[in-house]
């Protein structure tokens, strides 16, 4: 009986979705995950969470009604204004994964469109001075906000 309880608890913990502990809201429906923000010499890796309802209203995106929010793992090139999507995940209102897409490693970078939310996100993470703590300090002082 004890073994079954331990196995049940382990399976329950494994099946639970993971939630970021330090999201920074950059718009009414867009958040950046500080815990998974990474920099290297030429790239920035950032997870962005979009509220599905906001995307439906703001951009008339055709997103299924059962989707609560979407997360995208973006890779930005520091040397030029390019990006690619590495991963995307759709969640329901309970945090369960509805759909997940992993994109191939060799996928080509695309140019970041000017005056887009992606350009604003790129500006926010670049101004972080390649350091998460300084990015937090800058955003906490109110110097960076989504336009």
pLDDT of residue 84: 92
Q: CA triplet 114, 116, 122: central angle to 5 degrees?
A: 85
Closest Cα partner for 69 from 40, 38, 90? 90
The answer, as to whether pTM is greater than 0.85, is no
The residue written with tokens 């950059």 in the block is 26
- Whether 70 contacts 48, CB under 8 Å: no
Q: Could you tell me the two tokens for 41?
A: 């010499």
Q: How far apart are CA 82 and CA 101, in angstroms?
A: 20
Q: How far apart are CA 55 and CA 49, in angstroms?
A: 11
111 Cβ contact partners less than 8 Å away, ≥ 6 residues apart:
81, 82
Across the 147 residues of the chain, what is the mean pLDDT of every consecutive 10-residue run? 56 49 78 85 90 88 91 89 92 94 80 87 71 54 41
Q: How far apart are CA 127 and CA 125, in angstroms?
A: 5
pLDDT of residue 105: 67
pLDDT of residue 75: 92
- Looking at CATH, the fold of the domain delimited by 18-140 is given as Lipocalin (2.40.128)
Going from N- to C-terminal start, the domains of the chain cover 18-140
């Amino acid at each position: 009986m004890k073994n079954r309880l331990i196995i049940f608890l382990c399976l329950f913990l494994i099946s639970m979705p993971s939630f970021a502990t330090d999201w920074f809201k950059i718009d009414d429906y867009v958040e950046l995950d500080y815990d998974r923000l990474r920099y290297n010499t030429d790239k920035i890796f950032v997870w962005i969470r979009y509220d599905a309802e906001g995307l439906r209203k703001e951009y008339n995106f055709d997103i299924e009604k059962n989707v609560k929010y979407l997360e995208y793992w973006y890779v930005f090139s520091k040397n030029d204004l390019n990006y690619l999507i590495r991963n995307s995940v759709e969640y329901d209102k309970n945090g369960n994964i509805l759909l997940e897409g992993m994109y191939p490693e060799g996928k080509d970078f695309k140019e970041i469109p000017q005056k887009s939310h992606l350009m604003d996100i790129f500006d926010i993470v670049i101004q972080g001075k390649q350091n998460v703590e300084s990015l937090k300090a800058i955003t906490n002082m109110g110097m960076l906000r989504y336009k």
